[in-house]
Amino acid sequence: MVGNWLKTSILMAGIVALFGVVGGALGGQQGMLIALVFGGATNLWAYWFSDKAVLKMYNARAVDESSAPKFYNLVKDLAQRAGLPMPKVYIIDEAQPNAFATGRNPEHAAVCATTGIMKLLTERELRGVMGHELAHVQHRDILISTISATVAGAISALAQFGMFFGGRDSEGHRANPLLGLLVMFLAPLAAMLIQMAISRTREFGADQGGAEISGDPDALADALKKIEQYAKGVPFPTAEEHPATAQMMIVNPLFGGGLQRLFSTHPPTAERIARLRAMR
């Protein structure tokens, strides 16, 4: 666990350092300093508000024991089994089967599922999925994943902003436009690779923790198999518009192939399923 935290901290530092690299490439030393300040401010904002921003982005609606008793009580029972405070519970009206957790700590956590996943899975399988999301809460992955999604999006915006307005090097000369174009394309790619490394180190741990919380590794394995099969054929428009948030989901929500699949933020589902079967 300590090793994972150290690795994740290094990876997160890499994302912040990217701000400085982008700023330096587009605006010299002054641009680097401005970008680092911007990166620090973005991290601070993300710590306090990124969870609310993500839930709003996905038009998630809060539910309780009266509006969604079956789902709410399922989460409540799992939270008690995990020894966690009761998280806020949300539902997204989307056909693609998926789910995620967000928040800055277990005391300020939220779990969210799409209507698609609730229709597709049996209650046993849904317990496995929500156990996985609560394991993210238990392992305190949710802050890291939410911040990395927010900061990665900000890096892309910074690169495009710098390219649009032009930049200057450390001597005040106008920056090379070819360098600007290169940064505009490579910075988001680098952010994506860092996100991929962060997410992949966490998913296996959440699968194991979720199986322990639900007490049924096969339930999560069966759920992942179903979700993988159905999600590929059902687009998720909000995720497509905000691909930096894809790594928060239990499976990759992006509908496209090519680079989106090549640089998936999730480990292969078949490998996840095999590890869960081995836990029996």
Domain parsing of the chain, residue ranges:
50-163+190-278
CA atoms within 13 A on the CB side of 175: 26
Beta bridge partners of 61: 91
Contact 18, 190 (CB under 8 A): yes
pLDDT tens across 251-277, in order? 989 875 544 544 566 889 999 999 999
Residue 278 binned pLDDT confidence (cut-offs 50, 70, 90): very high
Residue 177 binned pLDDT confidence (cut-offs 50, 70, 90): low
Q: Mean pLDDT, to the nearest integer, of 74-87?
A: 98
Q: Which of 196, 197, 187 is nearest to 261 (CA)?
A: 196
94, 125, 133, 203: the catalytic one is 133
For residues 223 and 117, give the distance between their C-alpha atoms in angstroms, rounded to a whole number.
9
Residue 192 binned pLDDT confidence (cut-offs 50, 70, 90): low
**What does the block give as tokens for 234?**
């059902």
For residues 80 and 74, give the distance between their C-alpha atoms in angstroms, rounded to a whole number.
10
Contact 23, 31 (CB under 8 A): yes
**Residue-level pLDDT at 217:** 97
Give whole-number Cα distances, 45 to 5, 42, 53, in Å.
21, 5, 10
For residues 76 and 214, give the distance between their C-alpha atoms in angstroms, rounded to a whole number.
12
| Active-site residue, 133 included | yes
Q: Mean pLDDT, to the nearest integer, of 12-38?
A: 68
Q: Which of 14, 53, 10 is nearest to 155 (CA)?
A: 14
Q: What is the mean pLDDT of the chain?
A: 81
Provide the whole-model pTM: 0.77
Which residue would you say has higher pLDDT here, 38 or 246?
246
Q: Mean pLDDT, to the nearest integer, of 97-103?
A: 95
Q: Mean pLDDT, to the nearest integer, of 77-106?
A: 96
CATH topology for the 50-163+190-278 domain = Zincin-like (3.30.2010)
CA atoms within 13 A on the CB side of 88: 16
Q: Mean pLDDT, to the nearest integer, of 52-58?
A: 93
Which residue would you say has higher pLDDT here, 235 or 180?
235
**Residue-level pLDDT at 158:** 64
For residues 259 and 14, give the distance between their C-alpha atoms in angstroms, rounded to a whole number.
22
